[in-house]
Amino acid sequence: MTTPAKGETSSTDLLGQPLGEPPLPGTAEALMALPLFPAPAEAASPAGKQPIAVIGAGFSGTIATLQLLRRLPPDQPVLLCERSPDFARGVAYATGDNDHLLNVRAANMSALPDEPLHFQDWLRRRAADGGAVAGVFETSAGLFASRGLYGQYLRSILDYAMRETAGHAQLRLLPDEVLDIVGGDQGGYELVCASGQRLRVAGVVLAVGNLPPEESEDPRICGNPWGEKAWRPLDPGRRVMIVGTGLTMVDLAVAMRKRGFTGGIVALSRGGLLPTRHAKAAAWPTPQFTMAEENSLRLLMARLREEVLAAAEQGIDWRAVIDSMRPITASIWGRLSLAERERFLRHARRAWDIHRHRMAPPHAEMIGSMIAEGTLNVAAGRIRAMEPQDDCVRVRYTPRHATRDAAEDVSIEVQRVIMASGLEHISRTRDPLMQRLLDRGLVRMDRQGMGIDVTDGLNVVRGDETIAERIWALGPIVRGVFWECVAVPDIRVQAAHAAVGVVARLREDAPRWSFII
């Protein structure tokens, strides 16, 4: 397995695969042909080394695995664990609907931080080899692709890595759910799996992605917007409510229309704010904030408004200013006090989100049309009650600017309620692994309760405030520590840092340091 020397360019995919080579299907049947993890008695490699386990094979886990393979010696096995049979895609990219679009331009969706146009080149090579590619949209704001197509891209990279390492079985797939992690740092850990097998590992990388919220027992109230309940057939003559007005709502509303649902959709959130749309914008330099600005949310937002005005005077769109913040957002978040972070979450988060996480132009046009024709109603308010009736759910909410008088509450009846506001607090997850780790104190919540606490080097912090030197975490699960770590450009950098940390820990002579993101 080789990589180009520094300064060289390559027309191949990761690890040498030609960019135009079609991906393998990534189904359960295809997995049967790949080298899976052997029985526990054969768990160690020929050299006797226990594997590094990566838990979760969505984007975070897949890219962390690939970064480990680029850095670890061939005799150090890597075990990629996934409870679903569909490796590399995860919930976000498993869809086969070409109308589910990425909300980031293809030019920014490379899986590799050192090859920023990797995904876009992959798309163009596929188009050159086979003509038009379904799920690709050329817009004035750039090239956008479907989530399903991006899942094929990730799977093609993982499949090639499997073929390249098959000779020495460095990469192994475990299609099983990890329910618990037991043991300690020095002796490694033991994975407890749903199948009953227990596997010894040298270290663990937690890459579980967005944790699922608690699901309602009522079939008409859907806690998981991508679960089976949410996509059961709908009566076209009756309304549906989507709780949340962000990008998940946009995906749901567009997909419902494309599938033929003609009924009314009510999208409700506290602010009633929709994501802005992508547009072409020139570059803007990253602002150099003063220490006072970085320690005060009020001063920080005032300075950001000044940057937007300065850009406008030069004919540059505000989007360029927001995008210029990406390299420093995590460091600024890390310097804010707990009180300032909580102030941001209460007062500024929704405004930031709609400007930072934007709609692809095709989705923005369809959402605009739905609002204009009256089939999509976006409302602002706080839900007070959801009362299941014989054939509907009665939702009562208080409009945003109403008084506390219950007489001003609005009550509507809908055939289904789909929760699309995301998991706000990690304590509300029903993920069995995370519940066990939190209950036993092997990990602890971050200060805001948004995810788990980690160090600058991505090592998890235990409940007793000690550092687990052989457990790392990355992606959305650590958003409370780094804030902007839920999108591909941020996660791919974290994956590289986590891999370097793993290599440093496995080398007995390696110096101990942290990697500031």
pLDDT string in tens for the chain (517-residue length): 333 333 333 333 333 333 333 333 233 233 323 333 333 333 444 457 899 999 999 999 999 999 999 888 888 899 999 998 788 887 777 776 677 788 888 889 999 888 888 998 888 888 776 655 778 888 888 889 888 899 889 998 888 888 877 766 689 999 999 999 998 767 789 999 999 999 999 999 999 988 877 788 898 999 888 878 888 889 988 999 999 999 999 999 998 998 889 999 999 999 999 999 999 989 999 999 999 999 999 999 999 999 999 999 999 999 999 999 988 999 999 999 999 999 999 999 999 999 999 999 999 999 999 999 999 999 999 999 999 998 899 999 999 877 666 668 899 999 999 999 876 788 878 889 999 999 999 999 999 999 999 999 999 999 999 999 999 999 999 999 998 888 888 899 999 999 999 998 887 543 333 333 2
- Tokens at 69, concatenated: 């393979």
| Alpha-carbon distance values, 278 to 160, 192, 326, 327 (Å) | 33, 44, 16, 19
d(CA 69, CA 171): 8
d(CA 189, CA 198): 10
Determine the pLDDT at residue 167: 67
- Tokens at 187, concatenated: 């002796």
Q: Choose among 81, 104, 320, 292: nearest CA to 201.
A: 81
Determine the pLDDT at residue 332: 93
d(CA 163, CA 167): 8
Rg (CA), the chain: 23
Could you tell me if 324 and 283 are in contact, meaning their C-beta atoms sit under 8 angstroms apart?
yes
d(CA 202, CA 52): 5
Query: At residue 240, what is the residue type?
Result: V
- Tokens at 357, concatenated: 């996480």
Determine the pLDDT at residue 511: 38
Could you tell me if 193 and 214 are in contact, meaning their C-beta atoms sit under 8 angstroms apart?
no
Could you tell me if 153 and 119 are in contact, meaning their C-beta atoms sit under 8 angstroms apart?
yes
- Tokens at 384, concatenated: 């007070």
Determine the pLDDT at residue 229: 87
List the strands of the sheet with 178-183, edge to edge: 178-183, 189-193, 198-201
- Tokens at 281, concatenated: 């914008």
d(CA 110, CA 376): 34
Q: Strands, DSSP E only, in 415-462?
A: 416-419, 459-461
Residues facing 222 on adjacent strands: 418
- Tokens at 501, concatenated: 């940390």
Q: Which residues of 491-501 are buried (b: 16+ CB within 10 A; e: fewer)?
A: bbbbbbbbbbb
Determine the pLDDT at residue 304: 95
Q: Which residues of 257-281 are buried (b: 16+ CB within 10 A; e: fewer)?
A: beeebeebbbbbbbebbbbbbbbeb
Q: Long-range contacts for 94-98 (Cβ within 8 Å, ≥24 apart)?
A: 94/148, 94/151, 95/146, 95/147, 95/148, 95/151, 95/226, 96/148, 97/146, 97/147, 97/148, 97/255, 97/258, 98/134, 98/135, 98/146, 98/148, 98/149
Binning the chain into helix, strand and coil, the percentages to the nearest 5 are 35, 20, 45
Determine the pLDDT at residue 35: 37
State whether residue 400 is helix, strand or coil: coil
The secondary structure element, H or E, covering residue 34 is none
Determine the pLDDT at residue 508: 54
Q: With 0-12 CB in 10 A as exposed, 13-18 as middle and 19+ as buried, what is 39?
A: exposed
d(CA 452, CA 481): 8
User: The tokens 């046009």 sit on which residue?
Assistant: 365
Determine the pLDDT at residue 25: 29
Give the list of residues 6+ apart from residue 209 with CB closer than 8 angstroms, or none. 56, 58, 59, 60, 61, 90, 91, 92, 475, 476, 477
Q: With 0-12 CB in 10 A as exposed, 13-18 as middle and 19+ as buried, what is 330?
A: buried
Q: Strands, DSSP E only, in 108-228?
A: 136-139, 142-145, 171-174, 178-183, 189-193, 198-201, 203-206, 221-222
Domains assigned to the chain: 14-212+428-506 (3.50.50.60), 221-276+359-419 (3.50.50.60), 291-356 (no CATH)
Query: At residue 30, what is the residue type?
Result: A
